[in-house]
Amino acid sequence: MNHESLWRLELAKKIAPLYAANPKLRALVVAGSVARGWADEWSDIELDLFWNEPPTDAERKSVTDKLNGQIEYYYPREGFEWSDAYHIGNVKIEISGFLATTIDEFIHAVIEQYDTDVDKQLRFAA
């Protein structure tokens, strides 16, 4: 893992417990170039959040508030995903949120039904 990935991963490890404090959260995964060890000086930190039940707007924004982050965008649930992004200093944090049951369905569809739907494949690959 390169230097740019390592320090971003360390920052993600500091952010993760703030999300994990919410009992609705089932899992959090670092994704993208940081997870693969390929980050460069322009890379963001991608976090995929898997919820047991839908988070409220206040719950979604609470971590950004605790980090004094500056929101770049904040979208309601569209299809199967919530998405938002914020900056902590010069680092962009991109959040993709999903119901855990949705991801379970995607995994089942890809592994057992050989589903080639692009969205399912992308989520499975992430």
Q: Give residue 108's identity as a one-letter amino acid code.
A: H
Strands 45-51 and 25-31: antiparallel
pLDDT higher for 68 or 124?
68
Tokens (6 digits) for 39: 């980050």
User: Which residues have C-beta within 8 Å of that of residue 65, sequence separation ≥ 6?
Assistant: none
What angle do the packed helices 100-113 and 118-125 form, to 10 degrees? 110
Tens of pLDDT, residues 18-62? 999 999 999 999 999 999 999 999 999 999 999 999 999 999 999
Domains of the chain, CATH where assigned: 3-99 (3.30.460.10)
Ramachandran category for residue 114: left, alpha or beta (phi over 0 → left; psi -120 to 50 → alpha)? left
Q: Which helix (H) or strand (E) holds 97?
A: strand 91-99
pTM exceeds cut of 0.85: yes
Q: Which two tokens stand for residue 6?
A: 């390592």
pLDDT value of residue 76: 94
Length of the chain: 126
The pLDDT of residue 67 is 98
